Structure 1
Amino acid sequence: MHVVIIGAGPRGLITAERLLAQFKQATKYPQLKITIIDNTGLGGRVWQPNQSRNLIMNTVVQQFGFFTDKTVNGPLATTPGYSFYTWLKALAPTFIKRHPAIPFVTEYYELARNLQPNQFASRGLVGIYAHWFFENLQLNLPANTHLTFMNDTVIDLTGTEHFDLTLQNGGPLTADKVILALGHNDPQLTTEQKALMHHAEQLNTIYLPSIHPGEAPLATLPAKEPVLLRGLGLIFFDYLARLTIDRGGKFVSAPNQRLKYLPSGKEPHIIAGSRSGLPLHARGLNQKDDYMRYQAIFLTPENVARLADHDHHISYQAFYHLVTQDMQYVFYLRLAHQAKIDTPKLKQALATSTDLAATAKTFGLDAELDLAHYLKPFAPTTTNASYQAQMLTYLSADLDQALLGNYAGAHAAAFDILRDIRDNIRDVYENWFDGAAKKQFLTEFAKINNLLSVGPPYHRIQQLIALMEAGIVELAPRDIQVIPKSDGFMVNTSIATINYQVKHVVEARIGSTNLAHTTNQLGLNLLERGTLSLDRYQITAQPPFSSGAVTFQPHTYQSLTRTGAKLANLYTFGIPSEGYTWFTTYIPRPNINDRGFRDVTELAYHVLN
């Protein structure tokens, strides 16, 4: 049995370990060969050690790892091993010393020795963990198994029961089963982006399309000149680091848990904006051990089933109400703790309440958790100077809330439970929503979730404030539009009196999860032939809706063709299915029976049985 895994990121590597564990436990095949293929190396594109050490994770080091643990339920025994943090403390320094060819080896050695549980690791260090993980698998292979890695690109595969793979550099390869564990891909340029690139070429200025921030050729951006970063998500903070710290600038401590930026003089002048106009909220100071996870009180299977109609569907509004109730529950308990209010009585009253805000008021808690407010947190002004002052006030308040912590702080705790109840949310999305509810979820809830719960470490907001105060960064109002002009680009915003003139434009945004809109040749070939299919939902009185996600058979992960047929030996797992399932862009968390570990265990079971 030859299984090929396309993609050597965390998902592909964990899949390899689960396959080896499944083979060792029970399988009908006498031998197993696993080949992992990725053109960026072990760890995949995001985690390569040769990138800037200032590109960091947005998860604390104690809350992820590649090994399953005893809390994970499924049809396969777990394989206890080192989480990322326990590896850092026990094995990483020795492993790094034994591999002096690792890029920036001295820096990574010091990072590994000094990182604390609630700090954030350089992404390159996670890549070294991936190399160790693969080496550890090879050193502990069960009998009659073989594991190899190929640094290459799969550009096509053909077949149904067995597959012929076409590689960009190597010779032909055959496989009995193939698992597509693809990550983010570079997007195709839109008509607007092609026009912006052409305009930049004509003016001999710079337009950089979406690309992984560790690979972007930012050295070409001149110092002092105005550049637009389009996007205010996690990638935006990566670009900030590369254009400031990586160019010799330094952050130093300032009063009131703030920072001051000391410019190097090599920074461009950065204008940053997006459709929302808002950077993601700072992730609260972590006060939770890896096993601490909020258990939903309102978004429970029982409540979802109770609210479902005769077709076993729940409306988006009913789902959203349950989620906000869980957030309010945590919010008011944290406020009560701060005010020294009798928490047991309040807990009981809130848990049985249909109006948590009203119930909280009877206990003297007058604050409200208004999620709509976070999407438009302040009234717009009319001048750029006053808008920058507004944004600094907004960011400072966000930072203060984050520094209270994700357990003690009311806002940070309420936001953080969106991470804790992801499994509950996924269950509703996959099993209880019709097409209309999925569409509303992806257009409305996804914005709120991204803004509140997937943000950067709080020190990135400290840095952004310092950069704004130093005059290096300006944040543009919402709904920016980029207009080519004779001497560069005009950036218009939702406030007619606020616009900016820039010379260069950088798309500080992540690539699409929709394979049809990417440059991934394998995905495009499989979609064109109908070997893979994108999801499609009929919605009453509306055009059909598609999230752009690759479809698969639930629980077995077998890919579905354009006609809906199930391919027995081709599996889709992870990011290309984002939208068919939900929130695939994460590394599993130990000690909480993580859904990611359960999914990959289920996949391995079906591949080898």
Structure 2
Amino acid sequence: MSESGVPGELGEVAGKRTGPARTRIAIVGGGPYCTYAMERLAASVASRAGSVELDIHVFDRTGHFGAGGVHSDTQAPTSFLNRIAKEVSFAADESLEDAGPLLPEELRPSLYDWCRRKFDETGDPRFDIDPDSWPKRYLHGLALRDSFSEYVRILRSHPSVTVTLHHSEVTDIEDLTEKGAAGPLVVTSAPVADAQNGAQERTPVDQVLLLTGHSYNEPTRSERTRRWVEAAARVPGATFVPSAYPLRERLTPENTGPGQVVGCAGTMLTGIDVVLHLTEGRGGVFRRAETGELRYVPSGREPRSIVVFSESGLFAFARPYQRASSGAKKNGAKKKRTGIFLTVESVDRLRENFGGGPVEVGRTVSRQIDYERHLFPLIVAEMWLLYYETLFGADFGAHLVDVTTAARQDFLDRTAGTASTEESVRKLTVPMERAVAEAVDALESLLLGRSSYTALRAEARPWCFDTLLWRYVDVVLGESARNRLEAALGDPAELASIVAGLESPSRHAVLPSGNLFSWERTLDPIAPSDQTSPEQYRKAMIEFMTTDHVWARQGTSVNPAKTAADGVWRGLRPVVVYAVNYGGLHADAHRTFLGSWLRQHNRLAYGPVPEVMERIQALVEHGILDVSAGPRAQVETDGDTLVVRGPRTGAVRPIDVLVDGRVPSFDASADIAPLYPNLLRRGLVRLWRNPHTGGGEDFVPGGLDLTEDFRVIRPDGSVDDRISVLGPAIEGQRFFQGGAMKPHANHHAMRNILCWLRTFWKQTTAS
């Protein structure tokens, strides 16, 4: 049903006549990418020289135009964005390279600006937020829909542009050119309101832009989820929920209510959404105790227990507050850090010196490298550097850069070709380890009263002892400790006595030898000795989460661990993207990266905000949230019972309902929705593949094969200029396509939209 379910002006039919010279475009998927596309169309239509004869058809099965299903304003109110309000936007701005015409500034608000405007208009306390607030996700959905409505209004104000909204699911696209049909492509859709009657719409168009967003895969197509389906089928009364979203529709009081034990497979963002929806979303409340701890008070409408599990057994780590560095504060802006080890130039040298091939991957030619042998050592070394630069100060960080120069060059030109991953990491970090040992020895000589402050200051070093000392004290011990230590500098015994009685307010060790960087501990913060029983694992999990939340609140540029993770895995993500995309890794390495390392990447740098993770910890402490299965837990049947079994902790937890609390990787051939399987069947698209050069199995992650400007490639290798794709459907060939758009960041989502738009206008003008 066209134009259904949309209030106000969006519900009105444009009523403009169409003619044979008009360009007809179908945008399939009405989520955030659609909003961004409509913004660029709205801004550019008015600036086009001459007449613009354009019919725009937008199809969305949810009817939440502008937000779509996953980002809709009907999301559970317990779900938060993991980005602050001032860092979410909806329109192109001056930071976007070659953006073309921009809309007036008042039509380009951040999410914070939009909320403040709504609060001023309505007085509704939901919109009364701060720039640094972590907003609810439904607010983002409301803002997306409102922005979309504004862009549609602008487009419809043009005398020769129509916009038609179809509350329909697109099920197929047919190319009828060879059959003499009137239009080159026909979009088949099933109107949601009439779907049960078998009604269909067939819309002829000249161009299609697929922005379908996240779906989920047929469970029996994956070995893991097929085992879950089969296990649940063997147990009378057991239920398997293959996709958690939309939460309110999939996880109802009827299937996950009181008395039920829910197993949730997933501990990242989706799994956390599931947990909060089943607790706080069922009326439970969190209250702050007098001692400061958050406590959960149940409503009685929750499930009896929620058993969460995953391969790692760990939740996503809390995202740190973003603190400006001292240099940024002086300059009035946050300075973007560039890598020393992990750089585009390093990737290019590794390809030149050690890359295999050249190998033709799709329509690109690549000299492929390995992730674990070539990239991972650079990532670890970069984290080492950033950790100690944060702990000991920029002066000491510059010294570490100097002492590693030879090791960096040797790795890029020789070591990376022959050494194992462990050997390469060791060679890159040994110079830093020596320098850190000297710094630690000097600091502890002072703090333990072995040497005088005057003598230590007088020693000749390539770094300043004073600068390092007070940076360490500020990060680890805090201002009050600094004042006491400064007063006792002339008396080594008194200084040592003060240090002996100190505790770090940020849960660091007091002495620097207790604060050394460890990649292994960063990745696996719960020691194997704490994984030997359900009770010990639960205790260790709570201890780790307590520290993690304190460190997240200490923030980047202050907390060494959080700065190293955020600064490398988020700040230098474009380098990893550059190395991985378009078959930059050989097939086996690419499979391992997406199947394993990407999860580590997401856990370290893309977790929820501390306020959310503090709720999760309160639920663990209350007991309703059961984490005891630990790492590598499996779903099995035990007689007529469905259980989650933890092989390391020994936990065996019976469950009634199993929820897949993960967002699966896109797989066009296994998608539960009919569109992509139909496109594959018709030969309109093909899957992207990374060929195995050693005679092994090619890696086919499931995304579509596309040109660099996002046009689809057919099975015979020809390019179809009429169909373009953005979003999750292109992952595999390229990774990291999600994320809310960020202002003043030349954001990748809007860059992708702009790339498509240039091609679209070129083709429209040519026709």
Instruction: Give the structure-2-normalised TM-score.
Output: 0.72
| Residue 217 (structure 1) aligns with | 251
Match of 1:187 among 199, 217, 228: 217
Q: Does 1:586 align with 2:612?
A: no
User: Relative contact order, CA 8 A, sep 6+: which one is greater?
Assistant: 1
Larger mean Cα displacement after TM superposition, 172-181 or 365-374: 365-374
Output one character per residue of 1:421-468: Cα deviation in whole Å (capped at 9) or x when no partner: 222222221254343442332234212201101111112221121111
Q: Does the 8 A contact of 1:72 with 1:78 survive in 2?
A: no
Matching residue of 1:124: 138
Partner of 1:415: 565
RMSD: 2.6
Aligned residues: 591
Q: Counterpart of 2:301?
A: 266
Tell me the amino acid that sits aligned with residue 666 of structure 2: T
Counterpart residue number, 2:95:
71
The 1:262/1:278 distance shift into structure 2, 3 A limit, reads: same
> In the alignment, what sits opposite 1:102?
none
Q: C-alpha separation between the residues in 2 aligned to 1:2 and 1:267? A: 50
User: Which letter does structure 2 place at the counterpart of 1:34?
Assistant: I
CA contact (8 A) 2:726 2:752 kept: no
- Provide the C-alpha distance between the structure 1 equivalents of 2:89 and 2:301, rounded to a whole number of angstroms: 37
Report deviation, 1:522: 0.7
Q: In 2, distance between residues paired with 1:291 and 1:145?
A: 42
Q: Is residue 113 of structure 2 the alignment partner of residue 87 of structure 1?
A: yes
Q: CA deviation at 1:59?
A: 1.6
Question: Does 2:632 align with 1:474?
Answer: no
Answer whether contact 2:172 2:675 (CA < 8 A) is retained.
yes
Taking a change above 3 Å as real, the CA distance of residues 213 and 495 of structure 1, as seen in their structure-2 partners, is farther
Q: Per the alignment, do residues 362 and 19 of structure 1 end up closer, same or farther by CA in structure 2, a change over 3 Å counting?
A: farther
* Matching residue of 2:576: 425
Question: Distance between the aligned counterparts of 2:745 and 2:400, measured in 1?
Answer: 23
Corresponding residue for 2:43? Answer: 21
CA shift, 1:348, in A, is 5.1
Does 2:349 correspond to 1:303? no
Alignment deviations for residues 484-541 of structure 1 (CA, whole Å, 9 cap, x no partner): 3444312212227322122222222224411222211111101122212111122214
Q: Would you say the 8 A contact 1:186–1:511 is kept in 2?
A: yes
334 and 6 in structure 1: CA distance in 2 versus 1, 3 angstrom threshold:
same
Q: Shift in Å at residue 293 of structure 1?
A: 3.9
Q: 1:433 to 1:384 in 2, by over 3 A?
A: closer
CA shift, 1:286, in A, is: 3.2
Is residue 28–residue 170 contact of structure 2 (8 Å, CA) maintained in 1? yes
Matches within 5 A, 1:275-286: 275-286=311-322
**Distance across 1 between alignment mates of 2:315 and 2:684:** 39
Query: Quick check: 1:74–1:602 contact (8 Å CA) kept in 2?
Result: no
C-alpha separation in 2, matches of 1:72 and 1:278: 37
Query: Which residue of 1 is the match for residue 611 of structure 2?
Result: 459
1:1-16 correspondence runs (5 A): 1-16=23-38
SS at match of 1:148: strand
* Cα separation, partners in 2 of 1:403 and 1:496, compared to 1, 3 Å: closer
Q: Take 1:256 and 1:401, find their aligned partners in 2: how far apart are those partners?
A: 19
Give 1:213 deviation, angstroms: 4.5
Query: Which of the residues 521, 525, 540 maps onto 1:373?
Result: 521
Amino acid at match of 2:202: P
Shift in alpha-carbon separation, 1:550–1:592, aligned structure 2, 3 A: same
Matches of 2:403 and 2:748, distance apart in 1: 28
Tell me which amino acid in the other structure corresponds to 2:100: L
Could you say which residue in structure 2 is the equivalent of 1:397? 547
- Name which of 88, 113, 126 aligns with 1:111: 126
- Kept after mapping to 1: 8 A contact 2:93/2:108: no
**Post-superposition shift, 1:309?**
2.4
* Counterpart-to-counterpart distance in 2, 1:435 and 1:257: 50
Return closer, same or farther for 1:360/1:23 CA change in 2, 3 Å cut-off: farther
Q: Which residue of 1 aligns with 2:151?
A: 137
* Residue 144 of structure 1, CA deviation: 2.9
Q: Distance in 2 between matches of 1:451 and 1:55?
A: 18
Residue of structure 1 equivalent to 2:381: 325
Q: Residues 11 and 587 of structure 1 are in contact (CA less than 8 Å); yes or no, is this contact kept in structure 2?
A: no
Within the candidate set 264, 272, 276, 1:241 is matched to 276
Deviation per residue, 1:544-592 (Å, 9 max, x gap):
11111111101x2101112222111100111011111011121221112
Percentage of matched positions with identical amino acids: 22
Greater Cα shift, 152-161 or 372-381: 372-381
Q: Work out whether 1:57 is the aligned partner of 2:81.
A: yes
- Give the Cα–Cα distance (whole angstroms) in 2 for the partners of residues 279 and 592 of structure 1: 29
Alpha-carbon contact 2:323-2:556 (below 8 Å) kept? yes
Deviations 1:291-341 (A, max 9, x none): 66433333322222222226444432222233333333322221124xxx8
User: Helix, strand or coil for the counterpart of 1:517?
Assistant: coil
Work out which of the residue numbers 700, 703, 722 in structure 2 matches 1:549: 703
Is contact 1:160–1:569 with CA below 8 Å preserved after alignment?
no
Partner residue in 2 for 1:204: 237
Q: Distance in 2 between matches of 1:91 and 1:446?
A: 38
Mind listing any 5+ residue stretches in structure 1 that lack a counterpart?
Answer: 98-105
From the superposition, tell whether residues 301 and 385 of structure 1 become closer, same or farther in structure 2 (CA, over 3 Å). closer
* Counterpart AA for 2:719: K
Please give the TM-score of this superposition, normalised by the length of structure 1.
0.90
* Contact 1:530-1:562 at 8 Å conserved across structures: yes
Determine if the alignment matches structure 1 residue 439 to structure 2 residue 482: no
Unmatched tracts of structure 2, length 5 or more: 1-22, 178-183, 192-199, 221-225, 359-366, 409-427, 441-511, 763-767
Task: Provide the rounded CA distance (Å) in 2 between the counterparts of 1:371 and 1:564.
Answer: 43
CA distance in 2, matches of 1:482, 1:519: 23
Does the C-alpha gap of structure 1 residues 26 and 428 become closer, same or farther in structure 2, counting only changes over 3 Å?
Answer: farther
Which residue type is aligned with residue 315 of structure 1?
D
Alpha-carbon distance between aligned partners in 2 of 1:189 and 1:433, rounded to the nearest angstrom: 28
CA contact (8 A) 2:630 2:649 kept: no
Q: How does 1:494-505 map to 2 (within 5 A)?
A: 494-495=647-648, 497-505=650-658
* CA shift in 2, pair 1:483/1:315, >3 Å: closer
8 Å CA contact retained: 1:224, 1:266: no
Of the candidates 521, 526, 543, which is equivalent to residue 674 of structure 2? 521
Partner SS state of residue 536, structure 1: coil
State the AA in 1 paired with 2:148: F
Looking at structure 1, the residues matched to 301 and 403 of structure 2 have their Cα atoms a distance apart, in angstroms, of: 54
Distance change in 2, residues 1:267/1:211 (3 Å):
closer
Distance of 2:370 and 2:311 partners within structure 1 = 27
Q: Is the 8 A contact 2:666 2:728 kept in 1?
A: yes
Contact 2:38 2:152 in 1 (8 A): no
CA contact (8 A) 2:268 2:316 kept: yes
Between 460-469 and 210-219, the greater mean CA deviation after superposition: 210-219
Instruction: Return the alpha-carbon distance in structure 1 between the equivalents of residues 99 and 717 of structure 2.
Output: 27
Contact map agreement 1:22 1:76 (CA 8 A) in 2: yes
Shift of 1:397: 2.1
Contact 1:75 1:602 in 2 (8 A): no
SS in 2 for 1:174: strand
1:351-390 paired onto structure 2 within 5 Å: 352=405, 354=408, 355-356=428-429, 357-358=432-433, 359-364=435-440, 367-377=515-525, 378-379=527-528, 380-390=530-540
Q: Does 288-297 or 207-216 show the bigger shift?
A: 288-297
Q: Give the 3 Å change call, closer, same or farther, for CA 517–368 of structure 1 in structure 2.
A: farther
* Rg (Cα) greater in structure: 2
Alignment pair present for 1:448 and 2:600: yes
Instruction: Render the CA deviation track for 1:181-226: whole Å, top value 9, x for unaligned.
Output: 11111321223233234235xx234332223143323312232442
Q: Structure 1: how far apart are the matches of 2:145 and 2:306?
A: 36
